[in-house]
Structure 1
Amino acid sequence: MSNLNKLDFTTLEVSRRNYLNWVQDMKVHLTAKNLCLAIEDETDNPNGEARKATTMIVIRRHIHDALQTKYLAEEDPRALWVTLANRFNHQKDIFLPEARHDWQHLRFQDFKYVNEYNYEVCRV
C-alpha cells in the first residue's frame, strides 16, 4: 500500500542509493519535532511510550513499503534505527572508492562541452 499523504522528504528505498540523504533528513526532521532522543543511545534518556510511537510513525512513513513489511514486528524506534543502519550503512565502502576513481580520472579534455564536464563534476 502506497503512502497517500504528502511526505516531508523522500522515502528510504530498498536499493540503498538514498540512505545517506535519508538519514540526514530523518535526523533533522526528528530533531525539529523533538523526537531525536528516541533513536539515540538510551543511557539516561527515558522516553515515554507516546514519544516512541510518534517516532515509529515518522520512521515507518518514510521507508519503502517492502521495508515496512519486513520490519513490521519492530516496535522500538531505536532498534529499528540500528537495524536499518546495519543493513544500509555500507555506502562509504561501496560508493567512496568508485567516486575517488572517477574523480582521479576525470579530465577536462574528455568532454566536448564545458556543461558536460560541469555535470560530471557535480555527479561525482
Structure 2
Amino acid sequence: MSNIAKLESKELEVSGKNYMSWMIDVKMHLLSMGIPNSIYENNECSAQEKVKAQVFICKHINEILRFDYLDITNPSILWNRLKEKFDHQKEVIRPNSRDEWRTLRFQYIKKVNEYNLSLVSCKFTKYYELNACLLDVEQNNEFLMNNHEFHPTRSVALPKGNDTNTDAHQNNTLGRGHGHDRG
C-alpha cells in the first residue's frame, strides 16, 4: 500500500505552485493510512503514528524543503509551517480562475444561449427519436470536420480542369476551331 501511495503522490515543489493539490493528496493518503489527525495540533496520536506521518510528508516534499525543515520532528508543526509558507496561494489562484471563467463564459454567451434555446425547443417523447437525432447530428458533424480538413478555411479554390474559355473575344483569344484569321 505504501508503494502505491508513493507512486500516486507528487512531491511539493519548492515554489509551492502545486501546494493545493499536494495538500489534498497528503490528507487523503494520511486518511488511508489511518492517521489523518496526526497533522493537527493537540492530537492524541501515538509516537509511532506521528513518525509515520512525518516520514510520509518528508518523502513527498522537495529535497530543498526537506533540508529547510530538517530540525522539525513533529508532523503537525511541519504541516503548519508549510501551510504558513504556501497557503496564500488560495488567494492568488482563485481570483485568476474566476476571471478566466468569466471571460470564457461571456465570450461564448451568444453561442451558448443559442444552443440552450435550440435544446429547449427540441422535445423528444421517445428515446429512440432522441438517439436518431443525435446520430444525425454526429454524422453531420463528422462530415463538416472532414470537409474542413480537406478544404480549410481561407484556402484557395482549385482551378477547374476541363473549363473552356467561353468568351474568347474578352480575353483576346479565340477558342479552338473558331478562327477565321490565319495570318
Q: What residue is the counterpart of 1:20 in the other structure?
A: 20
Q: CA deviation at 1:27?
A: 0.5
> Match for 1:13: what amino acid?
E
**Count of residues in correspondence between the two structures:** 102
Higher RCO by CA contacts (8 Å cutoff, separation 6 or greater): 1
The Cα of 1:46 is off from its aligned counterpart by 2.1
1:52 corresponds to: 50
Counterpart CA distance in 2 for 1:59 and 1:14 is 14
Residues of 2 paired with 1:95 and 1:55: CA distance?
A: 28
**Do structure 1's residue 79 and structure 2's residue 67 form an aligned pair?**
no
Deviation per CA, 1:19-58: give whole Å up to 9, x if none. Answer: 111111100100110111211232xx32221111111100
What's the secondary structure of 2:7's corresponding residue?
Answer: coil
**Shift of the alpha carbon at 1:93?**
1.1
Displacement after TM superposition at 1:71 (Å): 0.3
Whether the 8 Å contact between 1:12 and 1:22 is mirrored in structure 2 is: yes
2:176 corresponds to: none
Q: Which residue of 2 aligns with 1:10?
A: 10
- Higher Rg: 2
Share of identical aligned residues, percent? 33
Q: CA deviation at 1:96?
A: 1.3
- What is aligned with 2:39? 39
Q: TM-score, with normalisation over the residues of structure 2?
A: 0.52
Looking at structure 1, the residues matched to 94 and 44 of structure 2 have their Cα atoms a distance apart, in angstroms, of: 37
Q: Please report the TM-score for the alignment, with normalisation by the length of structure 1.
A: 0.75
In structure 2, C-alpha distance between the alignment counterparts of 1:93 and 1:19, rounded to whole Å: 13
CA contact (8 A) 1:7 1:62 kept: no
Instruction: Please give the secondary structure, in 2, of the residue aligned with 1:7.
Output: helix
Match of 2:145 in 1: none
Which shifted more, 53-62 or 100-109?
A: 100-109
Q: CA RMSD in A?
A: 1.6
